[in-house]
Amino acid sequence: MADSPRTSVLFVCVHNAGRSQMAAAWLTHLSQGRIDVRSAGTLPADQINPRAVEAMHEIGIDLTSRTPQVLTQDVVQASDYVITMGCGDTCPVFPGKTYLDWQLDDPAGQDLSFVRRVRDDIKERVESLIVEIDLRHISPGLSRC
C-alpha cells in the first residue's frame, strides 16, 4: 500500500518575522519532520525578529538561518492548511484548503517575556493542529466546520 501524501501547512503573517516563523519551527520540531511546513508574509521583513530568535533558542530551536519569504499564490495552492496570523483579507483563498485564523499577539517590538508568552501560545496551537491532522489521516472524511 502506498503512503498517502504528506500534509502541508503554510503559516502566514504580515512580516513573516515572528509568529509565522515560530509556528513553522514548532510544527517542524513537534511533527519530527513528517509534515511539510512553510511560512510566508504578505509584506516580508528584512530579517527575523531577534527576540523571536532568542525565545526559540531558549527551548532549543534555531531560527538564525531562516529568512522572511513573500506569500505567493503558488505556495498557498501547494498547502493543505493555511493558517493566518493577522494578515486579514490579503491571503488568497483556494477551494479544498483548510483555512484557520489564529488570533495571536504580534511580538514585533515587544520585550522577551512577551515574546515567550506568544511562543508558548503558538506551541499549544501547533500541538492541537498536529492532533487534528492526525485525526484526518485516520478518518479522512472528517471536515472542519
Which residues participate in catalysis according to the annotation?
13, 87, 91
> Cell 485564523, residue?
101
Supply φ then ψ for residue 45, to 5 degrees: -75, 175
What type of residue is 24? A
**Do the beta carbons of residue 48 and residue 17 sit within 8 Å?**
yes
8 A C-beta contact, residue 82 and residue 92: no
Q: CA–CA separation, 44 vs 88, rounded Å?
A: 15
- Grid cell 478518518 is found at 139
